[in-house]
Amino acid sequence: MATPDLDSPPPRRGRPGYDREQVVRIAVQLFNEQGYDATSVADLAARLGLTKSALYHHVASKEAILQSALDDALGALEGALAEALATQDAAIDRLRHVVRGAVRVLTERLPEVTLLLRVRGNSDAERSALERRRAFDQRVTAIVRDAQREGALADDIDAAVATRLVFGMVNSLTEWYRPGGAVDPDRLADDVLRVALDGLDRPAAP
């Protein structure tokens, strides 16, 4: 019996060499194309050119991949919120900070955020993600309410509705922003804040 050669990597047997991060990235693309619920582990193995057992070497289950991608997107959004909350700025500036941060997260993690925005709560991973999205929204709503109290935002609109509409704009970027396309990501955050704060009927504040 041959002893394993400890100095060499194991033989590859001709299959592509993925690491876990690449498996998750390709899986998220496939989930976004055909829906998470409609994607089987067999579909995913076929896309990767792996057998199902080789795929299970990288990831424990389809839901583990989903969990990993949702954690990535939510962790980055929660990080942007924590940064905004850590400042001593006026509430209006904390709001600008979190909107800019969310746009940045969305452009940098477009597939993961797209997946996050499509989850419907059909599994524990999805329900937990929806719960974290709700907590995020509530904390941003509190910032909007503070900005209204501080007189920087008009208070004739409900803070929760205003927050949802602003994040409706941010989240809609997943529908049409394409990395490397004609629209500059830095400009996107300016445009969202410009519509949200100034309105379209007058030029942006300097």
Please name the residues in contact with 131: beta carbons below 8 A apart, sequence gap of 6 or more.
Answer: none
198 is a site residue for a second copy (CB under 8 A): yes
Answer for which of 52, 120, 127, 178 binds a second copy (CB under 8 A) is 120
Cβ 3 to a second copy shortest distance, Å? 49
Choose among 203, 133, 126, 200: nearest CA to 167.
133
Cβ 25 to a second copy shortest distance, Å? 18
With contacts defined by CB under 8 A, name the span among 15-23, 59-67, 102-110, 193-201 that binds a second copy: 193-201
**How far is residue 135's CA from residue 163's CA, in Å, rounded to a whole number?**
13
With contacts defined by CB under 8 A, name the span among 9-17, 49-57, 71-79, 118-126 that binds a second copy: 118-126
Per rule CB under 8 A, count of chain residues that contact a second copy: 46
Please name the residues in contact with 160: beta carbons below 8 A apart, sequence gap of 6 or more.
Answer: 137, 141
For residues 186, 187, 188, 189, the Cα torsion angle rounded to the nearest 10 degrees is 70
Cβ 70 to a second copy shortest distance, Å? 16
DSSP assignment string, 22-76? HHHHHHHHHHHHH-TTT--HHHHHHHHT--HHHHHHH-S-HHHHHHHHHHHHHHH
199 is a site residue for a second copy (CB under 8 A): yes
35 is a site residue for a second copy (CB under 8 A): yes
136 is a site residue for a second copy (CB under 8 A): no
Helix H or strand E encompassing 97: helix 91-108
38 is a site residue for a second copy (CB under 8 A): yes
Residues that bind a second copy (CB under 8 A): 32-38, 92, 118, 120, 122, 152-154, 156-158, 161-162, 164-173, 175-176, 183, 188, 191-192, 194-204
